[in-house]
């Protein structure tokens, strides 16, 4: 059938005869730029109509992003051009087959026959199904799971590729939605962006980074939550507005996301790069199905908000157009665009409905109950496909929305009558670009409508579409964007203050390879220093025997945490003449997470504090700080353990000569000690000789004094002898003279004198 580029959705329906006419219902795809709302109760044929719409979009080379909360839109991959029973076999419902008292094979054959007959009635042949299969690349993405293609949400935190100065209001709204979704993911719901400290802090962190053109990721966000890159919020200091202890608690909540094993699938796989999600490497349009049935309500809201934010950022970078550029399809919007509350998704979805038509981006919203959708959203839709409704309340709310969209020019009674007469698979089409509404019966879907499919069936679905690796393993070929990112990833720089990357330790951590511009926080009472960069990058790489690439040069200096323990010990002992100081220094690159360190293995050269920088290089990046550095209690334990080790293990060698009583500390060499001993021996010898000399000089002096005394006494005796001899001779003379003179002297006197002389 020739459609001239229009969508073949079915045939006109005659309500009077209650039969399908031969006139086809063709829909101009450019009319979708004013958005579409599909409404109908369960069993109305709503899913079939939506599959028809998406099939026509693929056949006409329009890409689509499809959000699938229930698993119905996964049927968009079930196209079987040959309509063979074995093609249907894996997808038929075994429970339904048993209820119909059929084998699975019989049910598959019945499904094949049903589709063959159904498509024949609508003039659709195998060649059109084959054209559909070849028209686009169909892929199922599973955020938070590796059942399909995982989705990395990290790119959603990157700075949008549009000017901050020209789009401040838009980007602030995007930040508000992103932060609200993030806080909802950690359990903080009903956040008021004006009153919530958490929202204000995170929003300011985002604004600071994006306004400077810098990207964020969860790790960076956690670090900046602890250590914000600004000193004030409003007129108050950050610590007064949001104390450090409370910020740490928020950082713990955010870190719980990153640390949870289940969250690792959120940061792996296909980035939310809208351009790549819309077109494959060979230029074909892509129909990307985001299956979110397996997620919790918080995770669904988080992902939907990030996806719409990514679409908005991509859209703003495109030129304006009045033609259809892409379709954003949301299968069931209950809870995401409610009339009363304000979930994170609502603000951005309303904004997109108002603004995206200028960029050719169509939004197709599907719901069972119009009362569940905000009135402002309904009034922005230019195309309405209305199926059988469940209650009169739903009908009246729908008519209110239509009336708002038509600015009051609605024949409410006529529309009420037409909606009330709808049968299964019959829809009322209201298009603001057409003069009158139309009733039409949806055509037979080319895809097999197997009903909601489960997560365990998704690997086989992707394999059927030629996407992914081994079903169920999560192994797949990297996307074009991932290959480019891997090729562009620079080698880790090695300079002063950093250590070479360990290829076996955490090889996939891009954060630890590239670091963060935010200086990590450390516990209180722990001193922090930085090794100075004494070498240029070129010299550092030359010394390490590595090649410096241009991408590495752009990264610059990367700081890695290392434990530096240094203790000074003084030995004082007067007996050994010891007054000596030693410094024990240990560099521990990777201490035990529990703080256990074998200090003997890391003792090295001492480091003077003046050689360390108190502040880091302003252009440097930082590797994250992990345990035990982040645990104040463990760091205190390490400090006490080091001091205890220093006290008990520090030694000072003393050289000693017990005979000479000579002692020397470690600063004296053995040669110097031998010289000291020689000098001491010489001094002791000279001392002994002096003592001997003094003693014998005293003896000689005594002897000489005695000799002098004896000589003196001898002389006195000799003098006395002479005198006595003279007296004797005088006495003899007097005796002789007395004999001659007649005087009589006694001879005895002479004899007495003689005796005394003798």
Mean pLDDT of 81-100: 92
Q: What is the pLDDT of residue 1?
A: 64
Taking the C-alpha atoms of residue 448 and residue 75, their distance in angstroms, rounded to an integer, is: 6
Taking the C-alpha atoms of residue 524 and residue 519, their distance in angstroms, rounded to an integer, is: 15
Does residue 733 carry a pLDDT above 90?
A: no
Of all residues in the chain, the percent with pLDDT exceeding 90 is 38
- Per-residue pLDDT tens over the stretch 608-635: 777 888 888 887 888 878 788 878 888 8
Do 592 and 628 form a contact (C-beta atoms < 8 A)?
yes
- Where in 589-636 does DSSP place strands (E)? 603-604, 621-622
Does residue 512 carry a pLDDT above 60?
A: no
Confidence of residue 153 (pLDDT cuts 50, 70, 90): confident
Does residue 689 carry a pLDDT above 90?
A: yes
Q: What is the pLDDT of residue 700?
A: 93
Of the two residues 485 and 646, the one the predictor is more confident about is 646
Do 207 and 172 form a contact (C-beta atoms < 8 A)?
yes
Q: What is the pLDDT of residue 482?
A: 37
Of the two residues 416 and 478, the one the predictor is more confident about is 416
CA angle, residues 700, 702, 703, in degrees to nearest 5: 65
**% helix / strand / coil in the chain, to the nearest 5?**
45, 15, 40
| Cis peptide bond N-terminal to 142, omega within 30 | no
The contacts of residue 551 (CB under 8 Å, 6+ apart) are 488, 490, 491
State the residue for tokens 């005979």: 659
Do 142 and 153 form a contact (C-beta atoms < 8 A)?
no
Mean pLDDT of 719-723: 86
Task: Show me where the domains of the chain are located.
Answer: 515-649, 670-757
Q: What is the pLDDT of residue 746?
A: 65
Going from the C-alpha of 249 to that of each of 243, 253, 575, 697, the distances in angstroms are: 10, 6, 57, 92
Q: What is the pLDDT of residue 408?
A: 59
Report the range out of 8-12, 279-283, 533-537, 685-689 with the highest average pLDDT.
Answer: 8-12
Q: What is the pLDDT of residue 468?
A: 60
Q: What is the pLDDT of residue 493?
A: 31
Confidence of residue 370 (pLDDT cuts 50, 70, 90): confident
Q: What is the pLDDT of residue 490?
A: 33
- Any bridge partners for residue 236, and if so which? 233
Confidence of residue 513 (pLDDT cuts 50, 70, 90): low
Give the predicted TM-score (pTM) of the model.
0.67
Does residue 519 carry a pLDDT above 90?
A: no
Do 314 and 274 form a contact (C-beta atoms < 8 A)?
yes
Does residue 674 carry a pLDDT above 50?
A: yes
């Amino acid at each position: 059938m020739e459609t001239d580029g229009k969508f073949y959705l079915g045939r006109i329906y005659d309500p009077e005869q209650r039969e399908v006419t031969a006139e086809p219902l063709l829909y101009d795809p450019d009319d979708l730029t004013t958005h579409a709302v599909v409404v109908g109760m369960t069993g109305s044929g709503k899913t079939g109509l939506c599959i028809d719409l998406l099939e026509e979009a693929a056949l006409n080379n329009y890409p689509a992003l499809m959000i699938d909360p229930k698993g119905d839109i996964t049927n968009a991959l079930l196209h079987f051009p040959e309509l063979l029973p074995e093609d249907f076999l894996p997808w038929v419902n075994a429970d339904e087959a048993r209820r119909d008292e059929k084998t699975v094979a019989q049910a598959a054959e019945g499904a094949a026959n049903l589709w063959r007959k159904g498509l024949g009635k609508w003039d659709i042949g195998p060649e059109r199904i084959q054209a559909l299969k070849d028209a686009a690349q169909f892929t199922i993405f599973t955020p938070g799971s590796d059942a399909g293609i995982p989705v990395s949400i990290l790119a959603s935190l990157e700075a949008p590729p549009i000017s901050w100065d020209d789009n401040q209001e838009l980007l602030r709204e995007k930040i508000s939605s992103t932060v609200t979704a993030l806080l909802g993911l950690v359990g903080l719901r009903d956040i008021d962006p004006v009153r919530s400290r958490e929202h204000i802090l995170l929003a300011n962190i985002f604004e600071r980074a994006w306004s400077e053109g810098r990207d964020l990721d969860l790790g960076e966000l956690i670090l900046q939550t602890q250590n914000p890159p600004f000193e004030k919020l409003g007129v108050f200091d950050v610590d007064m507005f949001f104390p450090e202890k409370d910020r740490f608690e928020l950082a713990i909540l955010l870190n719980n996301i990153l640390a949870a094993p289940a969250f690792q699938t959120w940061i792996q796989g296909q980035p939310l790069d809208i351009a790549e999600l819309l077109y494959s490497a060979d230029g074909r349009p892509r129909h990307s199905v985001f299956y979110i049935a397996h997620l919790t309500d918080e995770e669904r809201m988080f992902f939907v908000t990030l996806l719409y934010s990514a679409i908005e950022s991509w859209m703003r970078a495109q030129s304006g157009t009045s033609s259809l550029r892409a379709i954003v399809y949301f299968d069931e919007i209950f809870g995401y665009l409610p009339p009363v509350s304000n979930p994170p998704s609502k603000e951005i979805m309303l904004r997109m409905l108002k603004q995206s038509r200028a960029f050719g981006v169509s939004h197709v919203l599907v719901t069972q109950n119009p009362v569940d959708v905000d009135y402002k959203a309904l009034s922005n839709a230019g195309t309405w496909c209305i199926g059988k409704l469940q209650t009169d309340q739903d009908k009246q709310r729908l008519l209110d929305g239509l009336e708002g969209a038509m600015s009051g020019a609605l024949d409410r009674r006529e529309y009420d009558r037409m909606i009330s007469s709808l049968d299964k698979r019959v829809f009322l089409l209201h298009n603001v670009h057409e003069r009158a509404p139309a009733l039409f019966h949806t055509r037979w879907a080319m895809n097999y409508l197997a009903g909601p499919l489960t997560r365990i069936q998704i690997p086989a679905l992707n394999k059927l579409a030629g996407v992914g690796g081994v079903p169920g393993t999560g192994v797949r070929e990297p996307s074009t964007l991932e290959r480019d990112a891997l090729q562009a990833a620079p080698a880790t720089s090695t300079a002063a203050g950093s250590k070479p990357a360990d290829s076996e330790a955490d090889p996939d951590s891009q954060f630890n390879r590239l670091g963060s511009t935010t200086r990590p926080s450390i516990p209180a009472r722990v001193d922090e220093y930085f090794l100075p960069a004494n070498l240029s990058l070129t010299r550092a790489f030359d010394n390490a025997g590595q090649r410096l690439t241009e991408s590495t040069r752009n990264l610059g200096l990367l700081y890695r945490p290392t434990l530096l323990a240094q203790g000074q010990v003084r030995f004082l002992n007067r007996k050994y003449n010891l007054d000596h100081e030693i410094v024990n220094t240990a560099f521990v690159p990777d201490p035990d997470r529990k703080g256990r360190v074998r200090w003997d293995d890391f003792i090295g050269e001492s480091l003077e504090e003046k050689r360390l920088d108190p502040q880091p290089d302003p252009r440097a990046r930082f590797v994250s700080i992990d345990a035990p550095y982040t645990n104040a209690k463990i760091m205190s334990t390490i400090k006490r353990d080091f001091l205890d080790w220093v006290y008990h293990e520090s030694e000072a060698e003393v050289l000693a000569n017990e005979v000479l009583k000579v002692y020397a500390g470690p600063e004296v060499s053995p040669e110097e000690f031998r010289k000291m001993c020689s000098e001491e021996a010489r001094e002791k010898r000279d001392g002994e000789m002096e003592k001997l000399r003094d003693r014998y000089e005293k003896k000689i002096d005594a002897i000489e004094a005695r000799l002098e005394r004896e000589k003196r006494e001898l002389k006195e005796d000799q003098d006395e002898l002479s005198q006595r001899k003279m007296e004797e001779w005088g006495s003899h003379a007097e005796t002789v003279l007395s004999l001659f003179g007649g005087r009589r002297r006694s001879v005895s006197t002479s004899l007495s004198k003689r005796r005394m002389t003798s």
